[in-house]
Structure 1
Amino acid sequence: MPLHLLFWGCVWFFFYLFFSAGSQNNTFLLWFSSIISVITITTSYVFISNLVPNYLLTQKYWLFLLYTVYACIFTLFGVLLTILLGYVFFFNLEFQNIPTLIKSPSVISICVLFIITLVSGLKILIYNYRALDEKQNLKNKFLETQLQLKEQELKFLKMQIHPHFLFNTLNTLYGFTLKKADEAPDMILRLSNLLDYILYQVEKPLVLLSDEIQHIEDYIALEKMRFQQGLVVHFKKDLYQENLQIAPMLLLPFVENAFKHGNPIQGVLKIDLHLTTTETELVFTIHNSTKKQKESQKGIGLDNIQKRLTMLYHQNFQLQTQLRQNTFTAALIIPLKND
């Protein structure tokens, strides 16, 4: 409101100075500037509060044009009436005494319409600015919602260690406990460490590659206790340096998938893992024996891994799978981040 009062005060002062040329009748100038200002203010608020928002901005152009014509007629009538009243009451019907600029209704109308157009233009600019701001806010909220959904989906995909592993491990642990086997305490410790990693460390955006390797080895050790002589695993590591970081639970699902979908050949399940890192990338290859003849039978494990890799690295990774001669191979290449 203060800005409105200041603006219209300036408009009134403009009218007073502009139309004072050739006139010393200050009383008339005060009266004339005030009446013209009232006409301008009235018409301007009709435009900015009704015609512009209800017709122009809603694309009702013909109605807006029609009402604009009506407003111009009202303005012109007000201007002519003001000149007539001044001619009668202030100049005693002596036309030659009227200031030069005020003798011309067109000049007065142009000044009034200029102010109305300026105010309406400001209204449109403000509306567009607010609309853009609201659009940006909605876009930000939409992106924020999408990010939250992606985070929830990513969290879910991180947790994709199949329940059958825990069930089988607990069954094996139960059997060892009944036999009072020496392996039971070590099995409990490894399972505890693995569950801590799966449930809590998974919340971190990045973990040390060495931690992921340790939990892969714990996982393999637990499976070895369960399979006994029916499992042969080779895990070869060629690491560039120890402080490399990756997303948590990125490699372990490949190992879980190999155990879940692998099949023993002549009574032995064979799994070979090879992990290589350079200064810029990580290469992880895993082979497991299988009797399946269709690669489509690999299950949903790798599909979940594929989704998570896409969310983490977009297209900046390579994942290839191959089934050949009773061996299923998965090969992953990802970029690395250093401390």
Structure 2
Amino acid sequence: MTKKKLLIELSKKLLMQLSICIGALLFFTFYFGITLSDLGPAFTFGVFLLPATLGMVNVFSFHLIPEYLFRQRYFWFALYTAYTLVISIFLIAMSSFYGVIFINSWESMDTGFMLSKNLYLIIIGVYIVVLFTSLFSSFRESHKMHLHNQKLQYALLNGELQLKQQELSYLKMQIQPHFLFNTLNTIYGSAIANRVETPELILKLSSLLDYLLYQTQKTLVPLEDEMDHLKDYLALEKMRHGNKLKVTSTFPQKSGNHMIAPMLFLPLVENSFKHGKSLGRDAFVELRILAYADKVEFFLRNSYDDSVAKGNLASSGIGLQNIKKRLQLLYPDSHTLTIHKSDGYFEVELQIFTTQPKES
């Protein structure tokens, strides 16, 4: 701690002690002099009680309460409180005795001042000051602890937020190269075959790259943009497979104001095309997206051939694991994901019950 900060802390403590002294003296003056026309003797008597009062205030407010009561060390708090009360009664009695002697030694003062005052009333007056000061100190310490706990909570939440952001960024980095690799293979195959649709494939890829570079950096994108992105991808796959793979898709005419996390559906659609290829029988991919007032439904069904699926097992696992992790991070309590594999087909059904994912 620098000298400047040390001086500031000392100044605050001295100011606090001075405020307690002034407040105690004012209380004692009116408490003991309420029946007197001259408040001088009451003020003088309060000065004699001030050391014992200030000592009790400091013991309770700055030691017993924060060190024992707030830390739930109740036995030691009760024990030390009992010791303090016994010692304080003795000190109050001594202060009162010398205060009375001093006041009665002044001829200008009312010599009958303390004859009407009992010791227990004096003790009660001192304890009233200690009680109110301790309550104020307890409230101040409690407020400080509350602010400290809030800072710790904010730091913890901020740390969790940063971890989730890093994890989401890592998952997106996995998705994008995987998607680009498959799409470039599609264009490469089209170029080798000298197909006339190759320029259109490149144009579709350009649109997808624009989406990847700019839209996926956002937390939310309109559902309509996500569907346009899927339509471009479906167009690429249709051009690639031609009549070998039957692709059907259904999209809502109006998506409303739904917002959704970007690149949420693509890994599932990619997997469907990898597994949708079949050896020796008709292959199909069926995609359906429905938008309701309070949820978005995604349904995907494709043909499934074990001989083809085994060759794509490792790569398909990346997309499925990513989508599960992202859903857990973004929609922890507001989504259902059902994956069903049967003889000859593979189904995925995803329901998102809110359009606002968890902050991350």
TM superposition score normalised by structure 1: 0.80
> What corresponds to 2:302 in structure 1?
288
Q: Please, which of 43, 46, 50 is the counterpart of residue 59 of structure 2?
A: 46
Q: What is the CA-CA distance between 1:92 and the residue it aligns to?
A: 5.5
Q: What residue identity is the alignment partner of 2:227?
A: I
Tell me if the contact between 2:92 and 2:123 (Cα under 8 Å) persists in the aligned partners. yes
Deviations 1:147-184 (A, max 9, x none): 34334434444555364543343344345556665333
Q: What is the CA-CA distance between 1:258 and the residue it aligns to?
A: 0.8
Structure 2 unaligned blocks of 5 or more: 1-11
Instruction: Tell me: CA distance 1:276–1:39, structure 2 relative to 1, closer, same or farther (3 Å).
Output: closer
> What corresponds to 2:349 in structure 1?
331
SS where residue 332 of structure 1 aligns?
strand
Asked if 1:114 corresponds to 2:128, the answer is yes
What CA distance in whole angstroms lies between the structure 1 residues aligned with 2:176 and 2:65?
A: 62
> What corresponds to 2:226 in structure 1?
212
> What corresponds to 2:71 in structure 1?
58
Deviations 1:217-275 (A, max 9, x none): 322333344445543322234x2425553412232222112123444232764222233
Instruction: Tell me: CA distance 1:120–1:101, structure 2 relative to 1, closer, same or farther (3 Å).
Output: farther
Deviations 1:195-238 (A, max 9, x none): 2212321233443333323322322333344445543322234x
SS where residue 71 of structure 2 aligns?
coil
Which range is displaced more, 205-214 or 127-136?
Answer: 205-214
Q: Where does 1:263-302 land on structure 2 (aligned, <5 Å)?
A: 263-266=277-280, 269-278=283-292, 280-292=294-306, 299-302=317-320
Instruction: Tell me: CA distance 1:158–1:164, structure 2 relative to 1, closer, same or farther (3 Å).
Output: closer
Q: Please, which of 300, 309, 312 is the counterpart of residue 327 of structure 2?
A: 309
Q: What is the CA-CA distance between 1:326 and the residue it aligns to?
A: 1.1
SS where residue 186 of structure 1 aligns?
helix
Q: Please, which of 142, 163, 170 is the counterpart of residue 149 of structure 1?
A: 163
What CA distance in whole angstroms lies between the structure 2 residues aligned with 1:27 and 1:165?
A: 91
What CA distance in whole angstroms lies between the structure 2 residues aligned with 1:250 and 1:215?
A: 11
Instruction: Tell me: CA distance 1:78–1:170, structure 2 relative to 1, closer, same or farther (3 Å).
Output: same
Asked if 1:199 corresponds to 2:204, the answer is no
Q: What is the CA-CA distance between 1:330 and the residue it aligns to?
A: 1.7
Which range is displaced more, 103-112 or 148-157?
Answer: 148-157
> What corresponds to 1:68 in structure 2?
81
Structure 1 unaligned blocks of 5 or more: none
What CA distance in whole angstroms lies between the structure 2 residues aligned with 1:210 and 1:28?
A: 85
SS where residue 302 of structure 2 aligns?
strand
Tell me if the contact between 1:281 and 1:335 (Cα under 8 Å) persists in the aligned partners. yes
Deviations 1:13-61 (A, max 9, x none): 2212332366677654443221112321222113222232233333444
What CA distance in whole angstroms lies between the structure 2 residues aligned with 1:31 and 1:147?
A: 62
> What corresponds to 1:245 in structure 2?
258
SS where residue 51 of structure 2 aligns?
helix
Tell me if the contact between 1:22 and 1:100 (Cα under 8 Å) persists in the aligned partners. no
Q: Please, which of 264, 271, 287 is the counterpart of residue 257 of structure 1?
A: 271
Q: What residue identity is the alignment partner of 1:15?
A: F
What is the percent sequence identity of the aligned residues? 35
Q: What is the CA-CA distance between 1:107 and the residue it aligns to?
A: 1.6
Tell me if the contact between 1:159 and 1:198 (Cα under 8 Å) persists in the aligned partners. no
SS where residue 104 of structure 2 aligns?
coil
What CA distance in whole angstroms lies between the structure 2 residues aligned with 1:279 and 1:58?
A: 51
Question: What value does the CA root-mean-square deviation take over the aligned residues?
Answer: 3.7
SS where residue 81 of structure 2 aligns?
helix
- The alignment covers a number of residue pairs equal to 335
Tell me if the contact between 1:261 and 1:299 (Cα under 8 Å) persists in the aligned partners. no
